[in-house]
Amino acid sequence: MPAAAALRTRMIVCFAIIYIVWGSSYLATSVGVHHLPPFLFAGIRFMTAGVALAVIARIRGERIAIDRTDFRHLVVMALTWVAVSNGFNVWALQWVPSGQAALLNVTSSFWIAIFGMFGARAHPIDRRSGVGLALGFLGTLAIVWPREGFSTAHVVPQLGILVGCMGWAAGTIYFRNVRTSLEILAFTGLQMCLGGVIMTAIGLGLGEQHAWQWSWPGAVSMAYLTIFSSCLAYTAYAWLTQHTTPARVATYGYVNPAIATLLGWWLLDEQLTAVALAGMAVILAGVVLVNWPEEVSAPESPG
């Protein structure tokens, strides 16, 4: 298979992974935080996934020894991608419905595209991508708006999700611009371990260990998020940040709410209206615009 075709195929597979897996992660996380304390739940999940990825990376022959520069990058990514982004989201999902949380996470796409205009690998937003991002936002509003509006009782948790979205976007652009001697699998595993340690420490500091009680829903949720959302999807996302534009990467934020809404209708008997179906069609149109095929250049690797 020609190099360009192989790269495009890998890109399609990675997009499919983050669309489907992270779309379902809202439901899984909502189940998990209603059965297990949020910060310990997330911390143990990330530590477990990080160790697994680091072991796999070592078996593959990747180097896991780090220098001072690598450590600095790992700390930044552990704070932005894990502690801030996931930490605020798991905490907020105790009160915010999963579909509404998915809508709020759309703001990550805007921040990724905006932050992506700066830095060593700055990429401007062209007219077609701008139209696609706008369509995606409108389609997402159509999906969630008919179901329920924003409750004033949830303002603080909603603001927490928005802060988490900014942290995720900042980490995405930071990782896109860094130079590290570690390969993606090893880097992802180590930053997850560090982020998991930070979140576990927060949970222990809050005394969450006293509320920890194993349950089947909590265990299944943690297993799914550890294997698929952390190990598989995070690795695919990290690869995409290095091999495609910020605007394209940002499209996951529009597809995920559609997946979350479908799962809520299927598994939780939530209402799925004609307006919601139309919104999904608009989202797909936006994704097509942003991801319209163009010449694929050689991948730019961070190290």
pLDDT digits (tens, 9 = 90+) for 233-287: 988 998 898 888 877 887 887 788 888 878 877 886 766 667 767 877 787 777 7
pLDDT at position 297 is 44
pLDDT at position 150 is 53
Least confident span in 21-30, 91-100, 119-128, 204-213: 119-128
pLDDT at 32 over 90: yes
pLDDT at position 144 is 60
Mean pLDDT of the chain: 84
Domain definitions of the chain by residue range:
3-290
Scanning the structure block, which residue is given the tokens 């489907």?
20
pLDDT digits (tens, 9 = 90+) for 145-157: 645 555 556 678 8
pLDDT at position 77 is 95
Query: 144 or 303: which carries more pLDDT confidence?
Result: 144
pLDDT at position 299 is 39
Query: 303 or 136: which carries more pLDDT confidence?
Result: 136
pTM: 0.80
pLDDT at position 292 is 65
Contact 208, 40 (CB under 8 A): yes
Q: What is the mean predicted confidence (pLDDT) over 215-233?
A: 94
